[in-house]
Amino acid sequence: MSKIVLKNVLVEIDGDEMTRVIWQMIKEKLLFPYIDLNLEYYDLHVKSRDNTDDQITVDAANAIIKHGVGVKCATITPDAGRVTEYNLKKAWRSPNGTIRAILDGTVFRKPVLVNNIPPAVLSWKKPITIARHAFGDIYKATEARVKGPAKVELTITDADGVHAQVINEFKGDGIVLGMFNTDKSIRSYAKSCIKFAISEKTELWFSAKDTIAKIYDGRFRDIFMEEVEESKAELDAAGVNFRYLLIDDAVAQIMKHPGGVLWACKNYDGDVFSDMVAAGFGSLGMMTSVLVSPDGKFEYEAAHGTVRRHYMEHLKGNATSTNSVASIFAWTGAIRKRGELDGVKEAMDFADKLEASVLENIESGVMTKDLVFLAQPKPEKYVNTAEFLDAVAAKLAEKLNN
C-alpha cells in the first residue's frame, strides 16, 4: 500500500528514559512504514530543557497553538535527586504544567478497556473520564519554611491599597504554602468540560470542597454553575445531566457507579484520581490523555511517567516488559485528530486499525508483565517490550493488507 500522507503539521514532543526508547520503537515499527506524519520535532529530554533554560518547552507549546495538534512522550519533572543525576542548572517546572498553562487547556484522561481485564471495582462497567483542571493550585504554588516565632500573612495590594490577614502566628518552626487560580482559567476549564461532555454525550460531574474552602473552592463552584446554566439548552439537547458534588461525596459515589461519566476535578484531585481510575481499570499504562484548549488545540500524551526502573534495566542491556499501550494511543489519538481536521479519512482509519491491533493482541493473551496478573484467564507467560510491539505490528499489517 502507498503511504498515508497527513496534509498539515503534527507536532512531536519527545521525552525521557524508557518511554523515549519505546517512542522510537513505535515510530519505527508501527508508524513510519505506513504513514507520512509531517512532523515538527521538539526534544524535551531533561538535558535539552536544561540546555535551553526550558525555552524548548515554551516553543513546543507555541507550536501546538500554531498547528493545532501535538503528541507528547512522557517527561521527567526533576526533583533534587534528578538535578544531581543529570547535572541540571535547577529543578525545572513540570513541562506538562508549562504546556497546559500556555494552552489554557484541560486534561481529559480515559481508561482503555479490554474484555479480559475486568475492573477492580465490580460496579464499573463503562469508562470513567477524569477532566483535570490543568492550571494553578499547588502546581504553581509558592512555598516556604518558616523559622519561628514568626507571623505569616496573606497580603493583597490592589487599587484600594494593602489588605492583609494573618495565616498563622508560629510559635516554632513550620511551613507555609500559597496557591492561586484565576477566573479566566476556571471559566475556560468549565467551558471545555461542558463541550467535551456534550460531544461524548456523557453525564458530567464537578466536585470540590467549598464547605471548607468557601472562597477558593466556592469560586470554582460558582463559575462552573454559571457556565452550566449558560449551556443548559445544549446540555439538555444532548441528554447530558450535570451534578455538583463535594469531593468526598464524589469519591464515595464513584466507587458504586457503573461509569460512563465525565468527572471534572480540580488540578490536584484530577492528578490523584486519574491514577486511581487507571489502576482500577487495569494499569497506568492503559490510560489515554488529551489536553484540550478552549479554542480547540489538542495535545495527546501518555498518562504515566518515564518508567525509570525499566530504563535502568534497559541501559544494562536487559529486556524489559514495559507497557506501551498509552504511548501508542497517544499517537493514534493525535493521528486521528489530525486526520479529522485535515479531512484525511485514511489517517483516521489507520488509527482505528492500530488501536484494534493493540486490543486484539491483549485479548488473545499477548501482553506485558503488568497486565498478566490482572487478566482473566491469566496467560501462561508475558512478552517483553519489543515482542509486544512486534505482535502489534504483525496484526496491523494483516489489517492494512486486507
The domain segmentation of the chain, as residue ranges, is 1-111+284-402, 118-137+180-281, 142-178
The answer to whether the CB of 85 falls within 8 A of the CB of 122 is: no
Identical topology for domains 1-111+284-402 and 118-137+180-281:
no
Which of 230-234, 323-327, 352-356, 371-375 is predicted with the least confidence, judged by mean pLDDT? Answer: 371-375
Position 285 scores a pLDDT of: 78
Helix (H, G, I), strand (E, B) or coil at 41: strand
Question: Alpha-carbon distance 150 to 217, whole Å?
Answer: 28
Q: Give the pLDDT of residue 100.
A: 86
Level-2 CATH architecture, domain 1-111+284-402:
3-Layer(aba) Sandwich (3.40)
Given a contact cutoff of 8 angstroms between Cβ atoms, the answer to whether 225 and 244 are in contact is yes
Three-state SS at 239: coil
Separation of alpha carbons 178 and 143, rounded Å: 6
215-237 pLDDT tens trace:
999 999 999 999 999 999 999 99
pLDDT above 90 for 45: yes
Question: Do 33 and 85 contact (CB within 8 A), yes or no?
Answer: no
**Mean pLDDT, range 246-258, rounded to an integer:** 96
Residue 267, C-beta contacts closer than 8 angstroms, at least 6 positions apart: 132, 133, 134, 135, 136, 137, 138, 139
Distance, in Å, from the CA atom of 25 to the CA atom of 164, rounded to the nearest integer, reads 56
Residue 68 has pLDDT above 90, yes or no: yes
What integer is the mean pLDDT of 177-187?
95
CA-wise closest residue to 352 among 365, 333, 324: 333
- What architecture (CATH level 2) is domain 118-137+180-281? 3-Layer(aba) Sandwich (3.40)
Residue type, 242: F
Q: Model confidence at 402, in pLDDT bands (50, 70, 90)?
A: confident
Tell me what pLDDT residue 389 has. 98
Q: What is the pLDDT of residues 23-33, one digit of tens each?
A: 999 999 999 99
For residues 38-47, average pLDDT: 97
